[in-house]
Chains A and B, each alone.
Chain A
């Protein structure tokens, strides 16, 4: 018969398996650095594991994990020592490289070029967003989270989330508008 600890470990392993890709994706889109995203993802699950017994299930496990991930990447960028190295030691890929990734679909060469251009414009706009705007934007349009889920994960009110999203969309629109 399995003990309570064994059950908890099994549950946590299941959570890691199910949510790791999404947490990694969010951190990758936030940092544009695959290695850093991987490190922060590991930190996120390590922190989650330490606090797993304290997780009451008030929100979904994904929301809880996303909150940890958001705080970790926030801490990372706000750390002054890291900010010093940020200029010289970043492994972030540039916008062109990030825009090279397109979903494989049956598109013509012209469609692919246009799609690549659009993706590049969105990346450029994302780069110009504030930290909060970027987080809210990525959660909404990459992770497809509901406003209430974003509010829970970021600790902001739904009204504030809407305001950040609106400003982010304004900037993306402006970037796309400049392309025309």
Chain B
């Protein structure tokens, strides 16, 4: 039963009837007819072939091996990449800690320097103040020294 198409007439039956607005010569018509019958035969055979419930595509061994190799490389890269990342993070932490320690030491040294300078200044001031103060008993002598100068 014909359910779609030339409504009952095959290409052969239509003879030289136009195909695409142009007549078909005998050889072309024959070739197209053979082609159509061949496709129909193939399709019927393919449709009626026994099929397993779960048809699996055939996978060549080399492709399976390549897939396993790629997977192994990816896993190895992932693991080593993770290790490297962790190692790198630790290095960064150590460098940061060393920098922090150095900065703290520099700050302490600077504070100590400031304190030492302040102490020196204070002592110098005290020295100068003490040296300028003359005991009362020595005053006449001190005045003489000033005049002699």
- B28 at interface by CB-CB < 8 Å: yes
**Cβ distance A3 to chain B, nearest Cβ, rounded Å:** 27
Which one, A18, A63, A144, A173, contacts B28 given CB within 8 A? A173
- A24 at interface by CB-CB < 8 Å: yes
**Cβ distance B13 to chain A, nearest Cβ, rounded Å:** 10
Which of B7, B22, B39 has the largest number of chain A CB atoms within 10 A? Answer: B39
Describe A's contact surface by its main secondary structure. helix
A172 with B47: CB separation less than 8 A: no
B37 with A102: CB separation less than 8 A: yes
- If A98-B42, A102-B37, A118-B34 touch, whether A62 touches B20 (CB-CB below 8 Å) is no
Mark out the residues of chain B between 42 and 82 whose CB falls within 8 Å of any chain A CB in the assembled complex.
Answer: 42-47, 49, 51, 55, 57-58, 63
B interface residue count range (under 10 / 10 to 19 / 20 to 34 / 35 or more): 35 or more
Chain B residues close to A by CB (< 8 Å): 2-7, 10-11, 19-22, 24, 27-28, 30-32, 34-47, 49, 51, 55, 57-58, 63
Chain A residues close to B by CB (< 8 Å): 18-19, 21-22, 24-25, 28-29, 34-35, 37-38, 60, 62-63, 66, 88-89, 91, 98-99, 101-104, 115, 118-119, 121-123, 140-147, 149, 161-162, 165-166, 168-169, 172-173, 176
